[in-house]
Structure 1
Amino acid sequence: MQISDLPYPDPGVPDARSGPRFLVWLGRGQLGGQLQSLGWGMVHFGGVAGLPYAVGLGVEAVVEHDGARLLRVGALLLLLGVAISLGDNMLHRTAVTNWITAAARVQQLLARKTAELGSALTRRVAAGEVVAVSTGDVEKIGWFVEAVSRFLAAAFSVVLVCVGLLFYAPAIGVVVAIGIPVVALAVLPLLPRATQRADVQREKAGRATELASDTVAGLRVLRGIGGEELFLGRYREASQEVRAAAVRSARMWAVISAIQVVLPGALLITVVWYGSALVLDGRLTVGQLVAAFSAVATMLYPLRHFEEIAMAYSFSRPSAKRAARVLSLTRAAAGEAGGRGAAVAAPAPGGDLCDPRTGLLAPAGRFTAVVCGDPDLAGRLADRLGGHPMDPDGGASALLGGVELDALALDTARGLVLVQDKDPVLLSGTLRELLGVPASGAVEAGAALAAAQCADVLDALLQSAPDGVSDPMDARITERGRSLSGGQRQRLALARSLVTDPEVLVLDEPTSAVDSHTEARIADGIAALRAGRTTVVLASSPLLLDRADQVVLIHEGAVAAVGTHRELLRDDRRYRAVVTRETEEEQRLSRLGHVLTEIEESA
């Protein structure tokens, strides 16, 4: 795989059981590139390892006044120089290719997982963590994957130097063969502590990123309630914690780097001192001493890769762990029934929507409203109704016409059921592009905008549009619709959902940010536009509930009552408590009033 061939036609199925397994899977997935990098690394480091012997042979030729031998040594040095230069260039090329292709594979996997889970992803993983994985973590993972081949090539050169000296100059080669492994392995006892400090730094940085993401997302609300400074203060504290953790981590790596300088220096002094004594005793030639000295000095370069691979693994391990955690998520959480296995045939049109977990039944072609006292339960129910069961405690997805949605192919399930959650996202672009979503074609954009009561939104978009734009459909919407109010964004998102005209439409609190007059008109618009189509609205607003064909009360995770809004309001105190927000005292007084009324009527 070359950079020009990206993106991958299929990034594959990752081994997301753990961070290390994910790193191994990535390395195996680009084995060809790793072998190329290793081959060129061996050429490069092999040339580096051969330099000390060539220098030693050259010195011996000069001492012995052997011109022919000196010419051969010169040719050998030229050959080694070419190997070092060519190997270095090609090693850099293949290493960067491995880095970028590994990072691209991870990004494609994350994008595919995000598309598969949709908005349910941020219910399982914090938005800040997703941002951290898809940005900085991707680079760290790619760094480790490409550093492995360079480390193996460097290790090969170290072994080559040690073994070569044992044969070329046994008297001094023993010292070098013992000293270099000691230098290379001396930092191992410090690596666990350095890794631990790096993990702490990553954790604090992830929390700071999450806090920043949440603060920016809610900045408008924070300014409205005067909480901007409070959250900015929290971010400053989190930022200082990250800085302090980074300093502590850097200190440990500075100690490791210092050891990598001090110990080779000590080994170099030992070789010179001991070798000089051997030369004076006649047990070692000057050329052999120069070769041993050059070998130790040259080994400082490949030994740096030992420190780099330790740093790369230390930094990439928590990154790979986070990436594996995101990639291990499925539409059916662990322990749930169903799951994305072999896809089954789509159900026949006109089937009822049923949630076996709560017992909810939404008849085909009718407007069903669902009342839940627990907002979190409503969100999980909406996920299941869309075939995205993300409950941590298990449970099957919904059934449409008797077929489990989670057993359908992903595009089929999403074509049948559309779920709009509480916080829909508007992407930047024109209004025409926003409404240009896959749709049946039965609902025009104008009808959807009218049903969602977007007249004032169209006026606001035209006012902010540049000169020459006369059609509101050509007016641009800023990223996430930040130039619009919360109610305006919510109504545009509702219009986008209505224009798709799916067989089943599930709306989670679609009018929570609008005033009561607008909400009443939206309720009429939804009921009229979706007539004959299955519509499920999770809400507690009486204006929406009164327009529904039937209302279902979910209490303690199960269906507790079914009827019209007025019937349930009159007969079910639990429903009345949720819809009217009655306190326990008000409920007690209301029941007492009913009892007194019945007594008076019977008297």
Structure 2
Amino acid sequence: MSDTPLRRAVRRNRGAIARSVLGQSLYQVCETLVPVAIGVVIDRAVAAGDPAALAVSLAGLAALFTVLTLSWRYGARAVVRAGEHEAHRLRVEVAGHALDPRSPDTGMGAGELLTVATTDADRTAQVLHPLTGGAGSLVGLAVAAAVLLGIDPLLGGGVLVGVPVLVAIVQGIGPVLTRRTADQQEALARAGGLAADLVRGLPALRGIGAEEHAAGRYASSSAAALRGALRAAVPLGLYQGATGLAGGLLLAAVAAAAGTAAGQGRISIGELVTVVGLAQFLTEPVREIGYATMHLARSKASSDRLERVLRAPFRLAAGEPGADGRTGAPGAAPVELKGVGGALGGLDLRVAPGEFLGVVCYDPADARALVDVLAARSPAAEHGGAYLVDGVPAEALGPERVRERVLVEPHDADLFEGTLAENVLTGAAPGADPWPALRAAAADEVVRTVPGGLQAPLTDRGTTLSGGQRQRLGLARALAADPPVLVLHDPTTAVDAVTEEAIAAGLRRLRHGACTVAVCSSPALLARADRVVAVAGGRAAAEGTHAGLAADDPDYAEAVLR
């Protein structure tokens, strides 16, 4: 049987579950004893007119309620604390897997993964609540049945038979609820993921006038989520109604039987009060058992979604740093591609130590494929050929080691919530000065214009900044990290020509003597490259300096000259 997130949540919190079950069970026992105590007080103190017995009885009731309150408090505290810690562990587990350098193939977008790591993680951890509450309710039912058997065997026997039958009847809705809840959460995650993606791309959508089309897509996705919620609400409403009806029927049946027994003289007035009180109490544990099953269904659906992410196969091999004993050949090229295919057409590319290489891809798809290979996002089995880092195959090093040597700054820079300085210095050495990188990326202007400077707070993904400002800060972050090999993919598409020229000069100055690859069509950057390689049809079609290619190669001139 597979070790699902649901089972791990239970196993990791066995101690807290045991403490909570003890507290919840004691609470239910005390709840059961309240009508018993009231019946005893009526028979032995009120009916007998004994003040001393009444005083003792009242003191006993006070003690009973004290134990009842404290047992509920500490039992609930144990499970709530464990549930919050477990939700945190699950969120970290899912986030760690989703961010694994080996690139798990979850088939989910960023927004949907975020929903799984938050909502589904929380709902999976909530499995602890119905387990402890349901266990305590079963104890309460057992004690109530024992008391009723002691008062009248027919009443006790009826409860022992009736309660399991009623619980079994309402459980029949459980599988339908689980299935529809899973469908609802899938639709909700898709809608949430689409919303996150649309918000992220809102400036671009406005730029091309596609807001109406995007709004239509979200309206359609949201409507699907609404239909899923309504489909799940039907069995949920039936479940809650059936649970309440079952408890009410049980109360009516027990009260009628008790009244008949009191009329026949089989039980006393105090016992009649006890039986009626217990019958009313019985609706609570029956309802709690019903709610427990409902919450278990939700937790099961969320656990299945978590497991889908955690069991997603990796696109890349695990690899271990230096697993084959090789740490790099002396004099080897920092980066070399040999016959890399897949989306490319058998590309050969060699970057010399300390070289500033420009790569112009006539087809944007070739540029994306090349960047994916260099970022170790494309498995060797998919592209064939060889990707060597310092003379060692990338698959032998493993993705983490490759990314320690080769930093690929994507075209769309992702900024996170925090200060501007924290965003720029992510990945930089401790105590690093951000200003050289900021000046080289022409991002010092951004620091001067935003209120607060380096300590200015940024929203998630930098939505308060313009596209050009985000791009410059992303470039500054990559430069501040000072990697051995820096790969830039169209780093200046969102800036004006003057700023682009400043960035080209700053990049050349700061990365002098370091290995840099610019996959772009920017004349300003290409003019400062030591060498330029033009890629057509997934292969190297031409090579030389920017000036030489622009003068001699019409295809190159058409691609880069503006």
The TM-score bracket by the shorter chain reads 0.7 to 0.9
**Displacement, 1:26?**
1.7
The residue aligned with 2:76 is: 92
Q: Secondary structure at the match of 2:486?
A: strand
3-state SS in 2 of match to 1:337: coil
**Structure 1 residues 321-400: aligned runs within 5 Å:** 321-328=304-311, 333-334=313-314, 336-339=316-319, 347=327, 351=332, 352-354=334-336, 358=341, 360-370=349-359, 375=364, 378-379=367-368, 381-389=370-378, 398-400=387-389
Name the counterpart of 1:82: 66
Deviations 1:364-407 (A, max 9, x none): 33234445566566446534434455799698995422445566
Q: Which residue, 16, 24, 27 being the options, matches 1:44? A: 27
Q: RMSD in angstroms over aligned alpha carbons? A: 4.4
**More deviation in 338-347 or 107-116?**
338-347
Check 1:184–1:442 CA distance in 2 against 1; reply closer, same or farther (3 A cut): closer
Q: 2:188 aligns with which of 185, 205, 218?
A: 205
2:435–2:444 contact (8 Å) kept in structure 1: no
User: Aligned ranges for residues 485-504 of structure 1 at < 5 Å?
Assistant: 485-504=466-485
Aligned to 2:414: 425
Which has the larger displacement, 182-191 or 339-348? 339-348
1:462 aligns with 2:443: no
Superposed counterparts of 1:3-152, under 5 Å? 21-58=4-41, 61=44, 65=48, 77-113=61-97, 116-117=100-101, 125-152=108-135
Contact 2:376 2:402 in 1 (8 A): yes
SS in structure 2 at match of 1:193: helix
1:190 paired residue among 170, 173, 191: 173
- 1:236-291 CA distance string (max 9 Å, x none): 45445444543443343222222122222222222233344444555555555544
* Aligned with residue 507 of structure 1, among 482, 488, 491: 488
Please report how far the alpha carbon of residue 179 of structure 1 lies from its aligned counterpart in structure 2 after TM superposition. Answer: 1.0
Amino acid at match of 1:549: R
Query: Which of these residues, 556, 563, 574, is aligned with residue 543 of structure 2?
Result: 563
How far does residue 44 in structure 1 lie from its aligned partner after superposition?
A: 0.8
The 3 A distance-change label for structure 1 pair 264 and 499 is closer
**Equivalent position SS for 1:338:** coil
Cα distance in 1 for residues equivalent to 2:497 and 2:322:
46
1:161 maps to 2:144: yes
Aligned equivalents of 2:172 and 2:429: distance in 1? 64
- 1:246 matched to which residue of 2? 229
Q: Could you say if the C-alpha distance between residues 442 and 268 of structure 1 is closer, same or farther in structure 2, counting changes exceeding 3 Å? A: closer
- Post-superposition Cα deviations, 1:460-517, rounded to whole Å, max 9, x if no partner, equal 6534547xxxxx6677766644454323321232232123221111222223334566
Does residue 171 (structure 1) correspond to residue 171 (structure 2)? The answer is no
Paired with 2:47 and 2:473, the residues of 1 have a C-alpha distance of: 90
State the distance in 1 between where 2:303 and 2:322 align.
Answer: 29
TM-score by length of 1: 0.75
Q: 1:122 to 1:178 in 2, by over 3 A?
A: same
Q: 1:154 to 1:394 in 2, by over 3 A?
A: farther
Corresponding residue for residue 12 of structure 1: none
Residue 30 of structure 2 aligns to which amino acid in structure 1? G
Inter-CA distance 377–137: structure 2 relative to 1 (3 Å threshold) = farther
Number of aligned residue pairs? 549
Deviation at 1:420, TM superposition (A): 0.7
Per the TM alignment, residue 87 of structure 1 is displaced from its structure 2 partner at its CA by: 0.8
Distance 1:265 1:437 in 2: 61
Amino acid across the alignment from 1:109 = E
Question: Retained in 2: the 8 A contact 1:441–1:500?
Answer: no
Change (3 A) 1:419 1:500: same
Contact 2:532 2:545 survives alignment (8 Å)? yes
Stretch moving more, 285-294 or 254-263: 285-294
Deviates more, 1:120-129 or 1:205-214: 120-129
* Structure 1 residues 447 and 99: CA distance shift in structure 2, 3 A: closer
> 1:207: Cα distance to partner?
2.4
- More displaced 10-residue stretch of structure 1: 379-388 or 153-162: 379-388
User: What is the rounded CA distance, in whole Å, between the counterparts of 1:572 and 1:481 in structure 2?
Assistant: 40
In the alignment, is the contact (CA less than 8 A) between 1:371 and 1:551 conserved in 2?
yes
Among 494, 516, 526, the residue aligned to 1:535: 516
The one-letter code of the counterpart of 1:535 is T
* Inter-partner Cα distance in structure 1 for 2:380 and 2:19: 45
Quick one: structure 1 residues 76 and 486, their matched pair in 2 at CA, closer, same or farther if it must change by over 3 Å?
same
Report the Cα distance in structure 2 between the residues aligned to 1:143 and 1:497, rounded to whole angstroms.
41
Could you tell me how far apart the structure 2 residues matched to 1:254 and 1:396 are?
59
| C-alpha contact (below 8 Å) 1:397/1:406 kept by paired residues | no
Compute the displacement of 1:323 (Å): 3.2
Deviations 1:565-586 (A, max 9, x none): 679899999x8699479xxxxx
Query: Which string of whole-angstrom CA distances, capped at 9 and with x for unpartnered residues, describes residues 128-179 of structure 1?
Result: 2133234433432332233322222222222333345345532221111111
Give ranges in structure 1 of 5+ residues lacking alignment.
Answer: 1-14, 467-471, 582-603
Code of the aligned partner of 1:97? R
What is the SS of the residue equivalent to 2:173?
Answer: helix
CA distance, structure 1, for counterparts of residue 361 and residue 545 of structure 2: 14
Change (3 A) 1:224 1:132: same
Partners of 1:124 and 1:166 in 2: CA distance: 57
The one-letter code matched in structure 1 to 2:544 is T
Return the letter of the residue paired with 1:107. Answer: R
Partner AA of 1:508 in structure 2: H
Q: Distance in 1 between matches of 2:326 and 2:428?
A: 18
What is the match of residue 345 of structure 2?
Answer: none
Q: Give distance in 2, aligned partners of 1:565 and 1:380.
A: 23
Determine the C-alpha separation between the residues in 1 that align with 2:514 and 2:5: 45
TM-score (norm 2): 0.80
One-letter amino acid matched to 1:502: P
Matches within 5 A, 1:227-266: 227-266=210-249
When residues 178 and 367 of structure 1 are mapped into structure 2, their CA distance, relative to the original with a 3 A threshold, is: same
Given the alignment, which residue of 418, 425, 433 partners 1:436? 425
> Structure 1's 241 and 578: CA in aligned 2 closer, same or farther, altered over 3 A?
farther
Give 2:288's aligned residue: 305
Alpha-carbon distance in structure 2 between the residues aligned to 1:299 and 1:391? 64
Report the residue type matching 1:38 in the other structure. Answer: V
